[in-house]
């Protein structure tokens, strides 16, 4: 038979991670892996690669992570001590596909109980089948990672142009441009506080609005759309992902709606996060960028909000004991506004880069959705792996809008 039933203890051996207080960490090349994944780096490691961890407590209880280099498993997680001949990637996908979060100690602070987990009966395929399942699912993850690298490269390139032109003031033609200090005196290029001729220091909110979202109340949340009248509800934590797991009725959105090419920034909670590529109604902890004039457009606004100048302003004016609030920071956001011709030139170069990142993010969402659909069916054996031996070009096709390909 392709699948065998056994107790979890006969599948893999897991062990609690090792204590490592912040005061004893020395920065190095080895990841420190906690309940929610990598949370820092250390100069020595405790576990060899490849490694698999599972969250032991907290909000990330039973959440699995795969580590492809030697690492330090923190005591907030359990890690696989012995794979017992199983495919390491399959083990990761198996833990990812199964929800073991209910196997906790029952204390006030839920903690995954290894002894209880060891007694659970599981169905595990033979190694040959494990290898095929791991290969198929890894192909999706590899494509997603490749797209993520392309997204980072495009954003890094555009951000470097922004810094070169608008921070270091080495824009096209800067050699022939005069620079003036705050008193209007001509000074050499590179003088601290000086700006090019024709530029002016202005408040950012003169050109854009920070439109606050809505708070419909948790009693109106749904974990999935009940019908077409429900839309995703984006919160501060969703800026690190591509979607939300909360939905609300359209009537509660009060037209606080963001589309994929809109810019969002967090001014409550984890302040200063900037994102694009999301769609749905957005919460009061978020602000949508709305343009007051045609002078400042998407690319310049996006990289300005990411700049050290604006990020520093947000952090400097963030206040609160348990939750930070930085709404008041917007009136202190000042920039050196370039001449219109330079702004247009910047947009013409970088706007297409941002468009490409949005396309790649859409492709990744399709790949993730497909992988997550396949994951439980492959792991359980409900779907035969022989029917899912896809070539990489077929996986790429799966990430394209349907009108872009045939068959």
Q: Which residues contact 226 (CB under 8 A, 6 or more apart)?
A: 247
Predicted local confidence at residue 123, as pLDDT? 96
Q: Which two tokens stand for residue 105?
A: 């100690």
Per-residue pLDDT, 406: 40
- Average pLDDT along the chain, 407 residues, taken 10 residues at a time: 90 95 93 92 95 88 94 95 97 95 70 89 95 95 96 97 97 96 94 95 96 91 88 87 78 91 94 94 95 95 97 95 91 96 97 96 94 94 72 52 42
Q: Which of 22, 30, 103, 28 is nearest to 62 (CA)?
A: 103
CATH value of 3-125 in 1.10.40.50, 3.40.50.10680, 3.90.220.20, 3.40.50.9100: 3.90.220.20
Q: Which CATH number fits domain 151-354: 3.40.50.720, 2.60.40.10, 3.40.50.980, 3.90.220.20?
A: 3.90.220.20
Beta strands at 230-234 and 280-282: parallel, antiparallel or unpaired? parallel
Alpha-carbon distance values, 160 to 6, 23, 167, 232, 333 (Å) = 54, 35, 10, 33, 21
So what's the pLDDT on residue 105? 63
Q: For residue 321, what pLDDT is reported? A: 84
Residues in the chain: 407
Domain range list for the chain: 3-125, 151-354
Residues paired with 13 in a beta bridge: 82
Q: Is omega for the bond preceding 257 within 30 degrees of 0, making it cis?
A: no
Alpha helices in 75-168, H assignment, sequence order: 88-97, 114-118, 127-166
pLDDT score for 16: 94
* Contact indicator for 86, 3 with CB cutoff of 8 Å: no
Helix %, strand %, coil % of the chain (to 5): 40, 25, 35
Q: Where in 120-279 does DSSP place strands (E)?
A: 121-125, 179-180, 186-187, 195-196, 200-203, 208-212, 230-234, 247-249, 257-258, 264-266, 274-275
Q: What are the helix (H) ranges across 127-267?
A: 127-166
Q: What separation in angstroms does the CA of 314 have from each of 27, 287, 305, 367? A: 28, 13, 10, 35
Strand order from edge to edge, sheet including 257-258: 247-249, 230-234, 280-282, 257-258
Nearest CA to 275 out of 267, 265, 283 is that of: 265
8 A C-beta contact, residue 29 and residue 45: no
Domain 151-354 in the same topology as domain 3-125:
yes
What is the rounded CA–CA span in Å between residue 287 and residue 329?
Answer: 12
């Amino acid at each position: 038979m392709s699948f065998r039933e056994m107790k979890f203890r006969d599948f893999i051996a897991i062990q609690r991670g090792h204590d490592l207080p912040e005061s004893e960490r020395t920065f190095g090349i080895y990841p420190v892996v906690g309940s929610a994944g990598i949370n820092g780096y250390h100069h020595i490691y405790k576990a060899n690669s490849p490694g698999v961890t599972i969250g032991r407590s907290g909000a990330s209880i039973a959440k699995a992570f795969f580590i492809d280099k030697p690492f330090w498993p923190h005591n907030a997680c359990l890690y696989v001590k012995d794979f017992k001949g199983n495919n390491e990637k399959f083990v990761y996908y198996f833990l990812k596909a199964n929800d073991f979060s209910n196997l906790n100690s029952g204390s006030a602070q839920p903690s995954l109980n290894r002894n209880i987990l060891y007694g659970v009966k599981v169905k595990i395929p033979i190694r040959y089948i494990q290898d095929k399942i791991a290969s198929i699912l890894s192909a999706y993850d590899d494509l997603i990672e490749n797209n993520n690298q392309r997204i980072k490269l495009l954003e890094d390139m555009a951000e470097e142009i922004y810094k070169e032109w608008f921070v270091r003031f080495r824009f096209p033609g800067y050699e022939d441009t005069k620079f003036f200090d705050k008193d209007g005196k001509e000074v050499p290029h590179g003088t601290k506080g000086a700006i090019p001729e024709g530029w002016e220091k202005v408040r950012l909110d003169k050109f854009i609005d920070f439109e606050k979202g809505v708070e419909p109340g948790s009693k109106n949340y749904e974990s999935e759309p009940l019908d077409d009248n429900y839309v995703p509800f984006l919160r501060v934590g969703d800026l690190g992902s591509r979607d939300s797991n909360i939905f609300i009725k359209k009537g509660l959105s009060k037209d606080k709606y963001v589309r994929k090419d809109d810019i969002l920034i967090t001014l409550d909670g984890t302040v200063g996060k900037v994102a694009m590529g999301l769609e749905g109604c957005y919460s009061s902890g978020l602000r949508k960028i709305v343009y007051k004039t045609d002078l400042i457009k998407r690319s310049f606004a996006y990289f300005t909000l990411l700049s050290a100048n604006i990020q520093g302003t947000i952090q400097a004016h963030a206040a609160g004991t348990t939750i930070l609030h930085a709404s008041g920071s917007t009136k202190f956001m000042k920039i050196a506004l370039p001449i219109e011709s330079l702004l247009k030139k910047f947009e013409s170069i970088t706007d297409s880069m941002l468009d490409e990142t949005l396309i790649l993010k859409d492709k990744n969402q399709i790949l993730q959705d497909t992988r997550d659909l396949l994951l439980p069916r492959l792991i359980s054996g409900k779907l035969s792996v022989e029917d899912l031996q896809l070539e990489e070009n077929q996986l790429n096709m799966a990430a394209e809008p349907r009108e872009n390909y045939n068959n």
